[in-house]
Each structure stands twice: as structure tokens, then as C-alpha cells.
């Protein structure tokens, strides 16, 4: 079985996409993250879900996490407003997370190897410059465990 055969359709976003759109795509699919593409459609980065929630946290709490304990509630409206004002580019971690990429005819072992090495919860399946889909680590495990007795 080859990577291209098991790649799943996956929403990809550009760096200029609204952070709210990216957040909603991650939430709806309960995804570990999302692939970010450049203007030419080629994959540029993985935006992990953990970096999108960063925008929920006021800057002064990011600087001093102890302040979170004394912080009152921040309303969902306020957080959504922060997401609406930000773009995907604002959320990308620095240094960037290495992008795990395989080709459609790569084996599932190659997909597993690159996800393990980069500690990435997903890899993009890329044909030339085009992202044809994504494989998550959980999906790969599902294929392996299928029909297997314990």
C-alpha cells in the first residue's frame, strides 16, 4: 500500500487565511493540526492545534504564565475576535515546525518514519508541488490494527 492510496482529503490553508477559519477547520475535523500552503499551492508548514490555542492566551500571560492563575474568564466572543483579527502567519510557531512530506508512491513505512523523526502528528502527501492529501499518525495506526486480535 502506498501513501497516495490512503491520503485523506484535508483542508489546507494559506498564510493569509484568517486564524478563525483555520481554528474552525481544526475543531470540526478534530485534527491535530493543519497544512499551510504557499501562494503556489506547495506545502510550507504544519500549523499544530497547540499553536492555534496560543491566541486564546493574552500576551502578558504568555510572557508570565503565573498570571493565568489570577486572570478572570476571557469570553468566547473576545477570543473569537482575536482569532478573526489574526492570520495563519501570526500563529505559525517560531522556529517553524518541520513539515513532514511524503510522495504518493512512498510506502507507509516511509510515512511512519518521517512522522516519528519529526514528532509530527501528520504528514502531507505531495505530488510535485500539489498537496494531494494528508496522513495522520492515528489513521496509520488504524490501518495497522484493523482486524487484528489483541
Residues lying near a second copy in the complex (CB under 8 A) are found at 1, 18, 20-21, 23-24, 26-33, 48-54, 56-58, 61-62, 65, 68-69, 71-74, 76-77, 79-80, 83-84, 93, 106-121, 136-146, 148, 150
| Count of C-beta atoms within a 10 Å radius of residue 57 | 17
User: What is the nearest approach in angstroms of a second copy to the Cβ of residue 42?
Assistant: 22
| Cα dihedral 91→93→95→97 (10° resolution) | -120
| Count of C-beta atoms within a 10 Å radius of residue 75 | 9
Q: Which is nearer to a second copy, 40 or 66 (CB)?
A: 66
Q: Which is nearer to a second copy, 114 or 125 (CB)?
A: 114
Pairing relation of β-strands 122-127 and 101-102?
Answer: parallel
Q: Give CA separation, 79 vs 12, 68, 110, 134, in Å.
A: 22, 15, 39, 28
| Count of C-beta atoms within a 10 Å radius of residue 23 | 24
User: What is the nearest approach in angstroms of a second copy to the Cβ of residue 130?
Assistant: 21
CB 22, CB 47: distance < 8 Å: yes
Q: Which is nearer to a second copy, 3 or 40 (CB)?
A: 3
Q: Which is nearer to a second copy, 40 or 146 (CB)?
A: 146
Phi/psi region, residue 147 (left: phi>0; alpha: psi -120 to 50; beta: rest), is: left
User: What is the nearest approach in angstroms of a second copy to the Cβ of residue 20?
Assistant: 6
User: What is the nearest approach in angstroms of a second copy to the Cβ of residue 118?
Assistant: 8
Q: Which is nearer to a second copy, 131 or 135 (CB)?
A: 135
User: What is the nearest approach in angstroms of a second copy to the Cβ of residue 107?
Assistant: 6
Amino acid at each position: 500500500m502506498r501513501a497516495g492510496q490512503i491520503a485523506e482529503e484535508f483542508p489546507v490553508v494559506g498564510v493569509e487565511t484568517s486564524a478563525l477559519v483555520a481554528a474552525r477547520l481544526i475543531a470540526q475535523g478534530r485534527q491535530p493540526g493543519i497544512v499551510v500552503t504557499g501562494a503556489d499551492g506547495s506545502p510550507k508548514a504544519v500549523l499544530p492545534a497547540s499553536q492555534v490555542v496560543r491566541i486564546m492566551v493574552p500576551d502578558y500571560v504568555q510572557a508570565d504564565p503565573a498570571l493565568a492563575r489570577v486572570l478572570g474568564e476571557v469570553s468566547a466572543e473576545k477570543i473569537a475576535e482575536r482569532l478573526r483579527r489574526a492570520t495563519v502567519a501570526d500563529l505559525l510557531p517560531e522556529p517553524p515546525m518541520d513539515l513532514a512530506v511524503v510522495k504518493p508512491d512512498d510506502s507507509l513505512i516511509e510515512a511512519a518514519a518521517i512522522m516519528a523523526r519529526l514528532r509530527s502528528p501528520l504528514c502531507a502527501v505531495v505530488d510535485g508541488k500539489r498537496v494531494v492529501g494528508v496522513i495522520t499518525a492515528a489513521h496509520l495506526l488504524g490501518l495497522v490494527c484493523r482486524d487484528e486480535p489483541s
